Chains A and B, each alone.
Chain A
């Protein structure tokens, strides 16, 4: 069974731009969660989508948004990029109430 895939793997953007990251979950998984990982803050939960609805949201500004499509694929968007948004963005998929399977992440660098 194919794992969680994330595209692109690496991205360089400039301040003020916006970015869209994509996540394809494991086949059959309907829950997709997003995390941000930085050296200073560690792994932080951004939001979770289940059946195209946002089910949970972490403590991030409104510049961070996401959506999920009917095939469970998910995208997250960051608008008006700031230098502090440089991070590894991780996506995880799961069936409800069991372990999460993480993708390899997208490394975003904001210059």
Chain B
């Protein structure tokens, strides 16, 4: 699974969009990009994943560049409850394993 790189921390004003970048320049063709978040001392929560097309669900949008070397998670209207550590993880789509390799993630602080 490819290594991912994220900024250690970001701030966002409440009500504004939060854009969290992730670099995965060594990603291979069959690796998906997954995003999880962890609110303080809780278990990580799945947000979204994608292969090469942009994806959107009720929580967020995922924009993957055409060369797939980077992606951006977008929280369209951040609230204080979105303050958390956000993890970007690459994982083979054919993987039949539950193993996830977490990096240090990005600590997002949403401010009033």
Interface readout for A85-111 with B: 1 if CB under 8 Å, 0 if not?
Answer: 000101011101101111111010000
Q: Cβ of B102 and Cβ of A42 under 8 Å apart?
A: yes
The answer, yes or no, to whether A56 is at the interface (CB within 8 Å) is yes
Cβ of B93: which chain A residues have Cβ within 8 Å of it? 97
Q: Cβ of B43 and Cβ of A45 under 8 Å apart?
A: no
Q: Cβ of A90 and Cβ of B99 under 8 Å apart?
A: no
Interface readout for B58-98 with A: 1 if CB under 8 Å, 0 if not?
Answer: 00000000000000000000000000000100000111111
B3 to chain A, nearest CB (A): 14
The answer, yes or no, to whether A75 is at the interface (CB within 8 Å) is no
Residue of A35, A102, A104 with highest tally of chain B CB at under 10 A: A102
**Cβ-defined partner of A45 (8 Å) among B36, B94, B101:** B101
Query: Within residues 15 to 63 of chain A, which ones have a CB less than 8 A from any CB in chain B?
Result: 31-33, 35, 42-45, 48, 50, 55-56, 58
Interface size on B, residues (CB 8 A): 23
Residue of B34, B93, B99 with highest tally of chain A CB at under 10 A: B99
Within the assembled complex, what's the spacing in Å between the Cα atoms of A93 and B46? 12
Within the assembled complex, what's the spacing in Å between the Cα atoms of A59 and B102? 14
Q: Which 7 A-B pairs have the closest CB atoms?
A: A102-B43, A43-B102, A33-B98, A99-B46, A31-B98, A48-B98, A56-B99
Measured CB to CB, the residues of A under 8 A from B are 4, 31-33, 35, 42-45, 48, 50, 55-56, 58, 88, 90, 92-94, 96-97, 99-105, 107
Not counting A45-B99, A99-B34, a sample of 17 additional A-B residue pairs whose C-beta atoms are within 8 angstroms of each other reads A31-B97, A42-B102, A42-B103, A42-B105, A43-B87, A43-B102, A44-B102, A55-B98, A56-B99, A90-B43, A92-B44, A92-B100, A96-B96, A97-B96, A100-B98, A102-B44, A107-B41
**9 A–B pairs (Cβ distance < 8 Å), ordered by A:** A33-B98, A33-B100, A35-B102, A43-B44, A48-B99, A58-B99, A97-B95, A100-B100, A103-B43
